[in-house]
Structure 1
Amino acid sequence: MKLQTIVPIEKAHNPIDYQSKVLLLGSCFVENIGDKLVYFKFQMTQNPFGILFHPLAMENLIERALTNRPYQKEEVFEHNGIWHCFDAHSDISAPSKQELLDNLNTGLQETKNAIKDATHIVLTLGTAWTYRYNSTQKTVANCHKVPQKEFSKELLSAETIRSSLKRTVGRIQSVNEKAQVVFTISPVRHLKDGFMENQRSKANLISAAHQTISDLVPRTSYFPSYEILMDELRDYRFYGKDMVHPNALAVDYIWEKFKSAWISPEIYSVMDEVEAVQKGLQHKPFNPNSEAHQKFKTSLGEKITYLQKRYPFMKF
């Protein structure tokens, strides 16, 4: 008896291993996958500008990073005692203008370096709804709680998104022809936009992503994060208390699907070693001074040393 409709997933031809360098950009769901890669000690860079919800924000970051255009003082602003930039998430905001500019320009350099070195770039698209700042007519990445009356809300068409994604991939390939670009749609529903509006948004993103992949094979591909949550995990027990974000169980499930498709089976045993160390580091002893715990610490240290001899980039 089948109790689920299973989303078919193709195995990657060039899967991720411990020699790979991964760049992850996009919505908050990309950070769920990124946290797993961090946990298992892969070489990766994640959202140097913080969470970016829509494709134009990602395009802007990549274009600006690769054309060496640092941010200037007139591109940042103060609101409620904090300095912000409309191109970045509030995680990058700072208490002073200079600190924010430093954060932004460090993020640009980090993005540029990561693109040039990447073997895999994961772009997670969250929404097709955007906000245009009325005084400049520029589409922003984040409104930073500036009054909504100062923005105009717009829904990006599938064709506009497709054009943006093609430009983004083209810029990536201009400096790194070998990077594999993986598109995925965030399963997080943006219900603040409205139920029907969220469906329209996701539909445009999905359509544009697949059109882009059809145009740009073989260096682009798709991982069905959205489809897995909507079809395989069709139950509110897989959501957090807000009934919008996937909970830890759902993230673990989707990670296992990602692992089966995009992580090389040849390194599963190494991942098991890393996980054993991670669990060991989280262990809280009843008696820290006991002989048994001292032996445990010695054994754990030996495991870490053994891993770091093979993979010097691993830090615990």
Structure 2
Amino acid sequence: MFRTPIAPFNSRFKINHQNSLLAIGSCFSETIGSRLKNNKFDIAINPYGTLFNPLSIFNVLEMGLTESMLPEHTIVKQNDVFLSHSLHSSIKAESVKALQEQVQQTNASVSARLKTADVLILTLGSAWVYEMKTTDQLVANCHKVPQKQFNKRLLNIEEVVAAFFDIKEQIEAVNPKIQFVFTVSPVRHTKDTLPLNTVSKSTLRLICHYLEEMTENVSYYPSFEIMMEDLRDYRFFEKDMIHPNEQAIDYIWEHFGNAFFTKQTQTLIKKWAKLQQALSHKPFNPESASHQKFVQKTIQKLEAISGNLPVSKEIEQLKQQLI
């Protein structure tokens, strides 16, 4: 066998459809988060947009939890819209007031979720950070401000570990049941050069190792190792040779589910997958007896799992097809 597979493992806790989840971090949080959402899990995904370095991730968690305003010195105007150096460029508005109002709405939602969430998934993308030369302010996104205005540096393990335990203590003060799952994004930051990307990923991996060793409610999921060691052939990457392709994501999703999902949850996901295929069916003649029978059977199957999955919307849409 020409592979070095990552061995299956059982996580310290299990995830089911009754859990509340929050995923924050790099684009891998969106990838795994989207799979969870598409499979009817209750999850919020990157409410502040994609974030790469751990300190910026912890900063937005604190901002959300405390429902703080954006510091004015983080706000910048680009192409007639206002953005914040603390957030991704997807968070923008036509005025400072509108931006603050948008962020306050996000903060309220994040604060509520952090107080009830069962699992917080944190995906770290890079240990390289940029700081404003004039203020030493850490930025999550430079927003095309000239690079000469920033200093670039590598985070050290101690400062990240200390920052995590600070935000962890704040979250646990309002939600002591929460579980933390860390992953390191397998997406390589080639702009840093491949040697410096390796330095970055190694730093992040060590951080995750120490955090998992130091506390019982922190777990590490090896998405990075799966891509770099198990699926290291380029056929598992997109054309850019950087991002995992759909086949790789399918593989990681299955591995993740085997580690974190209960048996009942895995069974529900398989049932839902078959129902999704039925829901995507495009009838040649919607009024035919055969299609009407198909719709009725699909409704019955959805109603059978409605106690475990939120499928009322799908049931209602199918009922509208009945004549």
Superposed pair shares fold, TM > 0.5: yes
Range that drifts further, 71-80 or 275-284: 71-80
Alignment of 1:91-102 (within 5 A): 91-102=90-101
User: By how many angstroms is 1:222 displaced?
Assistant: 0.7
For 2:181, the aligned partner's letter is V
Q: Output the CA distance in 2 between the equivalents of 1:303 and 1:98.
A: 48
Decide whether aligned partners of structure 1 residues 144 and 300 sit closer, same or farther in structure 2, where only a CA change above 3 A counts.
Answer: farther
2:30 corresponds to 1:31 = yes
Give the match for residue 320 of structure 2: none
SS at match of 1:182: strand
In 1, are the aligned partners of 2:66 and 2:111 still within 8 Å (CA)? no
Residues of 2 paired with 1:75 and 1:280: CA distance?
A: 48
Q: CA RMSD in A?
A: 1.9
Any conservation in 2 of the 1:43–1:313 contact (CA below 8 Å)? no
For structure 1, which segment, 284-293 or 102-111, has the greater mean C-alpha deviation from structure 2 after superposition?
284-293
Which is worse superposed, 48-57 or 61-70? 61-70
Distance 1:173 1:315, change over 3 A: farther
CA apart distance, 1:109 = 1.6
> Match of 1:159?
158
Counterpart of 1:120 in structure 2 is 119
* Alpha carbons 2:40, 2:310 under 8 Å: kept: no
Report the TM-score when normalising by structure 2. 0.91
Kept in 2, the 8 Å contact 1:53–1:126? The answer is yes
2:242 corresponding residue in structure 1: 244
1:94-243 to 2 correspondence within 5 Å? Answer: 94-216=93-215, 218-243=216-241
Take 2:100 and 2:300, find their aligned partners in 1: how far apart are those partners?
43
Please state how far the C-alpha of 1:309 moved relative to its aligned partner.
4.2
Cα offsets for 1:121-169 (capped at 9, x unmatched): 1111110011112233211111122222222111112222222222232
Counterpart secondary structure, 1:92: coil
Listed one character per residue, the Cα deviations across residues 73-95 of structure 1 (whole Å, up to 9, x for unaligned) are: 56423211221011111121123
Query: 2:84 corresponds to which residue?
Result: 85
Q: 3-state DSSP class of the match of 2:205?
A: helix
State the partner residue of 1:61: 60
Distance 2:214 2:3 in 1: 32
Give the aligned partner of residue 266 of structure 2.
268
Partners of 2:72 and 2:151 in 1: CA distance: 25
Deviation of residue 313 (structure 1)?
Answer: 7.6
Aligned equivalents of 1:29 and 1:240: distance in 2? 14
Contact 1:30 1:124 in 2 (8 A): yes
Aligned equivalents of 2:118, 2:313: Cα separation in 1 = 21
Q: 1:314 offset after TM fit, Å? A: 6.5
Deviates more, 1:122-131 or 1:75-84: 75-84
Q: Distance in 2 between matches of 1:103 and 1:303?
A: 40
Q: Which residue of 2 aligns with 1:295?
A: 293
The CA distance in 2 between the partners of 1:60 and 1:72, in whole Å, is 12
Distance in 2, Cα, partners of 1:189 & 1:314:
40
Deviates more, 1:131-140 or 1:220-229: 131-140
Give the direction of change, closer, same or farther, for the CA distance of 1:20–1:71 in structure 2 (3 Å limit).
same
Counterparts in 2 of 1:18 and 1:197: CA distance versus 1, 3 Å = same
Other structure's SS at 1:90 match: coil
- Structure 2 equivalent of residue 279 of structure 1: 277
Report the 3-state secondary structure (helix = DSSP H, G, I; strand = E; otherwise coil) of the residue aligned with 1:211. helix
Which ranges in structure 1 are unaligned for 5 or more consecutive residues?
A: none
For the 8 Å contact 1:41–1:314, the answer to whether it is kept is no
Q: Is the 8 A contact 1:133 1:140 kept in 2?
A: yes
1: CA distance, partners of 2:261 / 2:309: 17
2:48 is aligned with 1:49: yes
One-letter identity of the residue aligned with 1:30: S
Give the conservation status (yes or no) of the 8 Å contact 1:41–1:315. no
Identity of aligned residues (%): 38
Whole-angstrom distance in 1 between the partners of 2:312 and 2:100 = 30
Q: Is the 8 A contact 1:55 1:125 kept in 2?
A: yes
The 2-side partners of 1:302 and 1:133 are apart by 59
